[in-house]
Amino acid sequence: MLHGTAASEGIGIGKVMIIEENSLEYTPKTVTDTDAELKRFKDAVEVFCNNTLKQAEQLRKSAGEKEAEILEGHIQIIKDPYLSGEIEKLIEGGQCAEAALEQMCDMFIAMFSATDDELTKQRAADVRDIKSGVLSVLLGVQEVRVSDAPKGTILAAHELTPSVTAGINKDNIVGIITETGGKTSHSAILARALEIPAVLSVDGVISQLKTGDDVIVDGCAGDVIINPDQAEVEKYNEKRSQFLQVRRELENYRGKETLDASGTEYELVCNIGKPDDAAKAIECDGEGVGLFRTEFLFMDRTSVPTEDEQFEAYKKAALILKDKPLIIRTLDIGGDKEIPYLGLEKEENPFMGFRAIRFCLKNKDLFKSQIRAILRASAFGNIKIMFPLVTCVEELRQGKALVEEVKKELDEADIKYDKNIAVGVMMETSAAAVIADKLAKEADFFSIGTNDLTGYTMACDRGNSNVSYLYSPLQPSVLRLIKYIIECGVQNNIPVGMCGEAAANEMMIPLLISFGLTEFSVSAPSVLKVRKVISTWTKEKADKVTQKVMSLDTEKEITDYLSTVI
């Protein structure tokens, strides 16, 4: 049995088809007729864009509008004035089109790959896909096709690109295995949209498979079983039947309020990275957006988005949500999110450095432009502002002062906005947690970011395999901080939500109910599952579980105990 990242739930049983990438090797050469080479490059880009539009249309029919936009985004990237302009400069300097394309694409791939953030790394996968697509046209190589795969096929590849995924017939593909990618990669997003079980990041799996092998893909546990025996096949057939039954039962929670078994109501909202994701939140029955990560508006471009561009993005999300809440997190860059044109200096320890609210408070024009855009958009919906990585009261006060400054400017210009807009804090540092009592007196709400809170509290990088065993929100120290943050919010009558991954963790939910959390912000596909889990707990029962958990000494003791009661 092999193990990887469980990226798309379900059980797939079938025969493997290995996707072998065609060779895109070429011999670099110096060109003298640069005009002809420029035309050759531009013609190839045009063919690539036309092919991509066709693939996007296929994907629109098989998966949906949002998934098609992933591919359409590739057209925007290759036509970006900076990328295309730099490639053309290299060609004008005598490089052949292939070498110029590869040099610039590899620069972006290296830049995006250098981060520990999965969403940023996905940009590298996009650029790799674009590079191979345009190279295929330049070299006259036929791209990989999976549309003819027979029923019961499990696709296995080093990396399953969006362009390849577009050709999938979801009636014929029962599973996906890759050697790369994470839960937020486009391979995972597309697999979930197509409802195909997928296990990604299975190290070295291609060398252990051959086309025609019988394979089981467990997208729930992240397991891959090669050439299973009959007993294993029967076991997983039963597991598949149970999974499908649970999925059908989850539909009973669609359109319902989010209530625990005691009748207490909670807000169940979604995390998004771009305006169009708000539609996915509504489609999945989310009750709003608890985290809009605005840094993605600043990526994949060569200059800061204008105030109007930001305004239109925030307004679009607000209109999609109508009067449902929309919490917009101000720019959170630095750490593992690098945006080259902002000119951040290289730091030895960027996670402890000049990032998020620290960067924004030192770059007030940029920060005020974003605040102004958010305030203008607040006239069109139920918008709230949230500051990331706050570590002291001064940062909150300075941020709020800038909001008031922009409000006065809007009043003078007679521009409408929500004069009572809420301003909150993303509680994601241990420093913020231990002064939660003080922050709660000045913030309108808290939202706990458990990903960073866990990393900072445990002094561990979840991407470092040597210390990743420490990275768990069920560590006693992390649970104590979460409990204290929520208690401080309750005592000061402000709502407390959670937008980290722990909000959808089945083991965490009874603890959060007991602590007094009021809002759960999760990925859109997790909404119905979380609503169901919440519905099974009474406050009294959750309190008893919490009392026992908080008396235990280690993360293992806690997880072992919770596994017996969940």
Which residues are part of the catalytic machinery? Answer: 186, 499
Amino acid at 472: S
d(CA 518, CA 492): 14
- The bridge status of strand 382-387 relative to strand 423-427 is parallel
Amino acid at 347: E
d(CA 178, CA 464): 21
d(CA 534, CA 262): 10
Percent of residues in the chain assigned helix, strand, coil, to nearest 5: 50, 15, 35
C-beta of residue 248 within 8 angstroms of C-beta of residue 10: no
Biggest distance spanned by C-alpha atoms of the chain: 79
Distances (CA, A) of 132 to 129, 281, 306: 5, 32, 32
Return the exposure string of 162-184: e unless at least 16 CB atoms fall within 10 Å of the residue's CB, then b.
bbbbbbbbeebbbbbbbbbbbbb
Q: Is the dihedral of CA 385, 492, 395, 479 positive or negative?
A: negative
Q: Which segments within 409-533 are labelled E, that is strand?
A: 423-427, 446-448, 496-498, 519-522
> DSSP character for 426?
E
d(CA 381, CA 266): 20
Nearest Cα residue to 223 out of 458, 417, 1:
1
- The bridge status of strand 11-18 relative to strand 5-8 is unpaired
